[in-house]
Homo-oligomer: A and B are copies of this chain.
Amino acid sequence: MTSTMLREIGEAAEAVGRQLGHNVDRLAELGARLRALDPPLVATIARGSSDCCALYLKYLVEIASGIPCASIGPSIATLYRTPMRLGGCVSVAISQSGRSPDIVDMQRAARRGGALAVALVNDVASPLAEETEVLLPLCAGAEHSVAATKSMVAGLAAGASLVAAWREDQQLADALSGLPEILRGQTAAPPTEMLEQLANARSAFVLGRGATLAIAAEAALKLKETCAIHAEAYSAAEVLHGPAELVESGFPVIAFLPSDAARQGMLPTLATLADAGATVIAIEAGGADDAHRLATAKVEATLLEPVVMIHRFYRLAEALALRLGRDPDRPRNLRKVTETL
């Protein structure tokens, strides 16, 4: 029987295609507003997987424009009740359900503080949508799996669309149009040998650099959630500063290797970890799968590589959960709506 998680991974292509069609006009309008506003700062508001999506947006904004992007802790609004000073800034809230009370409160505080309030939300009939000036629906459709996949891919695509519209980046916009086709073609199961290597792991590192750091964080979250493997994300530039002390023979290191400037910085770190005994698995564009390599489809814009990579990775997480005798749709300690726990 097919898991709900696997079925929804397969629906990501359709979700992205639907979203790109639906948001054309509002993206053009938002892009023009952002160029007129020329904000000194983008503030993001999100939790969990959506916060990984916010981190992707941060790298895109900073790489594309040099404008700094800050994740604002909801506690500033909900616990400390400090009025935020965000005059002339833009706030971007990201949420699948749009119902987490602290995210809604923080968006309200950002707007009161002077920010242009934008939101990337899947459920448009949500409280978050009401606190928002410019809504970008994710159009992922209802998501039933506890492990969010298609809404996450849709969120990443929405972030990239926002940046493409703002910066009038035609190359990124063109690459986005081709994304549904690329995701549709990416259906191969991960190699069995790779699953065997990972099946005995209690802990793991997931590495990225630049924009792939955002999906390393998301991948680590998914390995915890679906496989109960204690995977932790690190920048390849940080992992040798102290965390590397965990590495012993066979310790898995999963690396999201982009083809941009960050790649060359990651390779020596992976070699050092391999020397210390780590089993390194690379997720990268092109080539063929093998025991140490999960090959993703190629995409025309390097900034979109993280979207294609995490989509490919989701199949690994799902297959690994099954290999471990776990039901990816029924984690032991978790439910879909976190507030009720």
Binding site for B on A (CB under 8 A): 40-41, 43, 47-49, 51, 59, 62-76, 79-89, 102, 113, 147, 202-203, 209-210, 213, 221-222, 224-226, 228, 230, 232, 235, 237-238, 240-247, 260-262, 265, 272, 276, 331-334, 338, 341
- Cα A341 to Cα B271 in complex, Å, equals 11
Q: Are B75 and A210 in contact (CB under 8 A)?
A: yes
Q: Are A224 and B202 in contact (CB under 8 A)?
A: no
Tell me which of B71, B81, B224, B244 contacts A333 (CB under 8 A).
B244
For residue A68, which residues in chain B have a CB less than 8 angstroms away from its CB?
A: 41, 43, 70, 72, 84-86, 89
Shortest distance between the CB of A97 and any CB in chain B (Å): 12
Q: Are B203 and A244 in contact (CB under 8 A)?
A: no
Known: A79-B210, A333-B244. A69 touches B66 (CB 8 A): no
**Residue of B whose beta carbon sits closest to that of A241:** B48
- Cα A221 to Cα B87 in complex, Å, equals 36
Tell me which of B213, B221, B222, B230 contacts A230 (CB under 8 A).
B230
Supply 25 A–B pairs (Cβ within 8 Å), ascending by A: A40-B40, A43-B68, A47-B238, A47-B241, A62-B80, A63-B80, A66-B76, A66-B85, A66-B113, A68-B70, A68-B72, A70-B70, A147-B242, A202-B202, A202-B230, A203-B203, A221-B241, A221-B242, A228-B245, A230-B232, A240-B338, A242-B334, A244-B334, A245-B332, A245-B334
For residue A40, which residues in chain B have a CB less than 8 angstroms away from its CB?
A: 40-41, 85, 87-89
Tell me which of B210, B221, B235, B245 contacts A80 (CB under 8 A).
B210
Q: Are B69 and A82 in contact (CB under 8 A)?
A: no
Shortest distance between the CB of A88 and any CB in chain B (Å): 7
Which of A79, A86, A242 has the largest count of B CB atoms less than 10 A from its CB? A242
For residue A221, which residues in chain B have a CB less than 8 angstroms away from its CB?
A: 241-243
Q: Are B47 and A70 in contact (CB under 8 A)?
A: no
For residue A341, which residues in chain B have a CB less than 8 angstroms away from its CB?
A: 240, 244, 272
**Residue of B whose beta carbon sits closest to that of A85:** B66
Shortest distance between the CB of A38 and any CB in chain B (Å): 9
Shortest distance between the CB of A234 and any CB in chain B (Å): 10
Which of A74, A83, A338 has the largest count of B CB atoms less than 10 A from its CB? A338
For residue A272, which residues in chain B have a CB less than 8 angstroms away from its CB?
A: 341
**Other A-B pairs, 7, CB within 8 Å; known A75-B237, A245-B333:** A62-B76, A63-B82, A66-B84, A69-B70, A81-B261, A202-B202, A240-B341
